[in-house]
Structure 1
Amino acid sequence: MPDSRISIGIIGAGIMGERLLRAMLAETPELIRVSGIWDPSPAALERIAAALPEVPRLADAAAIVAASDCVYIASPPASHLGHARAALAAGKAVFCEKPLAVDVADSRAFVAEAGARGAVNFPFASSPAVASLRKWIAEGEVGAVSRVGIEVAFATWPRSWQADAASWLDRPAQGGFTREVVSHFLFLSRRLVGPLHGLDASADFPEPGKSERRIGARLFAGDIPVELTGSVGTTAKDDHNIWTLEGDKGAVRLCDWSIAERRLSDGTWQRAPDAMPNEQARPLALKRQLEGVARLARGEPNHLATLAEALNVQEVVEAILTR
């Protein structure tokens, strides 16, 4: 009997490549078949072979494209568009890790030529906590929106679990917490409030050859002001973040990636009844992301972050880092 599952190949066997690979195997085996994985690092492929011997390890990126209905690109950002163009030229769908790229002009050209066969992995598009925020907003708990606040902080950068990728994650060319983390919350602002524009920002690079250690920015999502702060070494937590939406009737917020809260009339914050830590929420979001990838590969409407949304986020991120 023919296999009707969508075949997905992975370029990049780092943290994100392995994370989504494991999600495919665990969460959507009835929907998705892993056609293979490739990484230019033999050590990375050896790690995959030891941990997941059932996953085919292919010879190069071209082999991944040839074997797949959809190509998931989880390599460092500067390589994204080259792989994406090769996949699209072969008639395959593309699911790209964020950021879309670091070269804004090239990204604009790519988005103009790519059509609707691509999407970018912003998991807030599938987050249970974001669904709670949407529900509260629709029920009128916020009222007329007046402000968005974004606050991120890290004990160190890269975060402890990313130390093996420091060779690019802590370099200004492709790395830094603005590209890696702030981009998620800019996407959330765009998706829930409106297109991003009107930036006034600063970034501090105190260590030569290293990525940013502090940023501050004011911009707009639609006609709503957004205030953004980010820093390294200002918290004991590996990763601290709060996204807040305020209005004339109340406020809602997302804390530490996955905890949705609403502000009550007495000023206290109440968690969503189904709130859960990110370790528990992530598999749910990744499963829904992969369901969207299957629809993307079939040419069906989906809820994933569009290339245009990702480009808007990238434009803001790169502008912050060059101020």
Structure 2
Amino acid sequence: MNQQVIRLGIIGLGAMGSEMLGIATGHPEFETVLTADPVRLAPDGVPHTPDAQRVIDHPDIDAVYIASPPSTHAGYAVQAMKAGKAVFCEKPLAIDLDEGAEMVSVAAELGSVNALNFVLSDRAAAVEVGRALRAGEAGTVLGVEVRLLFPEWPRAFQRAAGWVAGREQGGFLREVASHFLFLTDRLLGPLTRSHAQITYGPAAETAADVLLTAADAVPVRVSGQVAAGPESYEWTLYGSRASYRITEWGRLFEGDGSGWREVTLDGPRGDEQTRLTEFARAVRGEQTTLADFSAGLRVQRLIEGFHL
């Protein structure tokens, strides 16, 4: 697909779908042909339907961005790929493991362009850690730690999406921890679960303590809590020469024997705008930093395994 403008359909106009619509509207490589949501309406002037099937079947749409609830991802993505469309999907890949595996299988069988929107796929802080690891600046990797704290769940910007609060599709492991598991998988190789202790409230989890192992027996610990305190997101890679910590989704700190110092990062921070540009590269057949469905399935298997 070498045309200059990619004709895009969007399924789901919640927080992420609405944000991506706004970005696509002003993006020189995309034209938004049709949006779909059974409840929310698109802004004036943007073609809209309550029926997602009309986006999938639309003959003038080249690519579909899926931001509907996770339980619908597989059905829409598989149909879109079979209709010859490229697919950019929100995480998690799916909820049902068989459906996630089907998404990967269909993409491979058809050679479909497929991508999953993990925030840390192109975030400058994560890219810099990857560079440092390849250059040997961390030395031997000794461990990874992920620490999350939420004073409330769901977070304020997600309250309108009722599924986020529920155990079936939501929870902070799927919504947040998955980003950091993806990054660890990308940098250190596939992860294997060793231990998972999950505490549930009336719906989704309220606490999690998970131990995994990466390649070369590197321990990876994930701890999350819904409790009083400032909302915080922290991913730390410990090395024998240098350690690296990402906080607030994009601030990078390098640590040695004298403490932590913030690293100045050049270039774009990495956001929905840059990832949509990366998706355009993928549609054109170029190499991209985006996660594919296979990476999403590895993360999905871990997350759903925690809930068993």
TM over 0.5: yes
1:23 and 2:23 correspond: yes
Contact 1:260 1:275 in 2 (8 A): no
Where does residue 221 of structure 2 map in the other structure? Answer: 227
Contact 1:244 1:254 in 2 (8 A): yes
Q: Secondary structure at the match of 1:305?
A: coil
Contact 1:153 1:240 in 2 (8 A): yes
Aligned-partner Cα distance in 1 for 2:306–2:77: 25
If each structure's helix is expressed as a fraction of its own residues, which one has the higher value?
Answer: 1
Unaligned runs of 5+ residues in structure 1 are none
Note the alpha carbon deviations across 1:144-203, whole angstroms, 9 max, x for none.
1110111111000001221111x2111111010110000000001001111111331011
1:190 and 2:185 correspond: yes
Where does residue 11 of structure 1 map in the other structure? Answer: 11
Aligned-partner Cα distance in 2 for 1:82–1:199: 32
Offset of 1:136 from its aligned partner? 2.8
Aligned-partner Cα distance in 1 for 2:201–2:53: 40
1:146 and 2:134 correspond: no
Aligned-partner Cα distance in 1 for 2:63–2:102: 21
Contact 2:80 2:87 in 1 (8 A): yes
Contact 1:119 1:304 in 2 (8 A): yes
Where does residue 48 of structure 2 map in the other structure? Answer: 57
Where does residue 203 of structure 1 map in the other structure? Answer: 198
Where does residue 37 of structure 1 map in the other structure? Answer: 35
Matched positions, count: 300
Aligned-partner Cα distance in 2 for 1:54–1:272: 43
Where does residue 93 of structure 2 map in the other structure? Answer: 100
Where does residue 158 of structure 1 map in the other structure? Answer: 154
TM-score, reference length from structure 2: 0.92
Note the alpha carbon deviations across 1:285-313, whole angstroms, 9 max, x for none.
22221122112223333221011110000
Contact 1:259 1:275 in 2 (8 A): no
TM-align CA RMSD: 1.8
Which one of the candidate residues 71, 79, 85 is aligned to 2:64? Answer: 71
Q: Secondary structure at the match of 1:164?
A: coil
Distance 1:234 1:315, change over 3 A: farther
Aligned-partner Cα distance in 2 for 1:191–1:134: 9
Aligned-partner Cα distance in 1 for 2:165–2:249: 22
TM-score, reference length from structure 1: 0.88
Note the alpha carbon deviations across 1:48-81, whole angstroms, 9 max, x for none.
32xxx23221352222121421100000000000
Aligned-partner Cα distance in 1 for 2:4–2:221: 47
Unaligned runs of 5+ residues in structure 2 are none
Aligned-partner Cα distance in 1 for 2:135–2:228: 36
Contact 2:104 2:294 in 1 (8 A): yes
Aligned-partner Cα distance in 1 for 2:171–2:107: 27
Offset of 1:243 from its aligned partner? 0.5
User: Amino acid of the residue matched to residue 76 of structure 1?
Assistant: P
Residue identity (%): 35
Offset of 1:141 from its aligned partner? 2.8
Offset of 1:82 from its aligned partner? 0.5
Where does residue 288 of structure 2 map in the other structure? Answer: 302
